Structure 1
């Protein structure tokens, strides 16, 4: 029997996925959570074989939870589900040592088969998603611009970023203006979102 932990914040979706997986003769959902920070403690308590995790969870996102789960309970494999594909999330999933990545709207039989394959040690990625990720352009930002944007994403103001990177305040402002222009963003916050979604941060 394959023991599964399911992490999904939408109650109706979670209930449907639990019901679908429990219909399979060789799969049992042993725990379900609706926030990312609950994934690791629940997995430590129930010791599932596979954690099926939604990419967007409150408190801690699914990919951060998957990375933490791999660090603390590496024998539990992870399958990431997403309703909206962003190439950067596939790259983050690989970096988090996940074993699978697929769309939520896949047929139920495909989800069950993915759980089986992940439990058996296979890597499972929707081929269409893999091709979309491969076709995604490389970052137009320089390494220094990435550094500036990453610190901006962490909440640093211009003066703090300048001090940490040993740059002048004016240079940091120039970098931020260039970043916003290169990414065709509306603001610095929008630039952070664009870069994050593309997997450049």
Structure 2
């Protein structure tokens, strides 16, 4: 019996190549293809595939958001994330969303096919490059409130505007932003935003 797969990838050529190569395997069947996160979630619910291959960065909803929503909905489909990013914050979120695999996009196709089979057998598959290496296991030091403020700062809002948005005093906002800069060792808000984004913490 074939393993039914949905592929979600916003780059059409890559999506098509993955589908064609995996479809050549006798025991793998491409049940559907999605170009964005919304379509991926819809296909996961309607087609009920065995495995979903989700690109981390997609329009509408990211692969991580789709994985989180699938986890909340208790869908039986097993999720393998495909990424070009070795960001600890992404890996952290993926683990919390209950994903079964976390692989680099440039894995050889036979390695990906084997990972799909192993995931169906109950194993978890992670590319070694995404685990080993300096700083890969950094934990997010920012609280939910600090992340919220940093996201607003990333849009260009100043302290009074952030205060109005969050119903806080400007002084409170300045204190929290100061704490963020201390935690990240950043010189200013924009550097803090860049550092947090690079780590996948926002």
Unaligned runs of 5+ in 2: 156-160
Provide the rounded CA distance (Å) in 2 between the counterparts of 1:186 and 1:56: 28
CA deviations on 1:72-129 (whole Å, 9 max, x unpaired) are 2521000000022211111110011110001011111100011111122211111231
1:149 aligns with 2:147: yes
CA deviations on 1:38-75 (whole Å, 9 max, x unpaired) are 11211122110000000001010000001112222521
Provide the rounded CA distance (Å) in 1 between the counterparts of 2:75 and 2:134: 26
Do 2:86 and 2:136's aligned partners in 1 also have CA atoms closer than 8 Å? no
Q: Counterpart of 1:131 in 2: which secondary structure?
A: coil
Mapping of residues 1-201 of structure 1, within 5 Å: 1-132=2-133, 135-139=136-140, 143=143, 147-153=145-151, 157-161=162-166, 163=168, 168-180=169-181, 182-183=183-184, 185=186, 188=189, 191-200=192-201
Provide the rounded CA distance (Å) in 2 between the counterparts of 1:189 and 1:3: 44
Do 2:130 and 2:136's aligned partners in 1 also have CA atoms closer than 8 Å? no
Cα pair distance change 1:187/1:16, threshold 3 Å:
farther
Q: How many residue pairs align between the two structures?
A: 194
Q: TM-score, normalised by structure 1?
A: 0.84
Cα pair distance change 1:200/1:123, threshold 3 Å:
same
Unaligned runs of 5+ in 1: none
Do 1:5 and 1:48's aligned partners in 2 also have CA atoms closer than 8 Å? yes
Provide the rounded CA distance (Å) in 2 between the counterparts of 1:107 and 1:58: 25
Do 1:87 and 1:133's aligned partners in 2 also have CA atoms closer than 8 Å? no
Provide the rounded CA distance (Å) in 1 between the counterparts of 2:58 and 2:5: 18
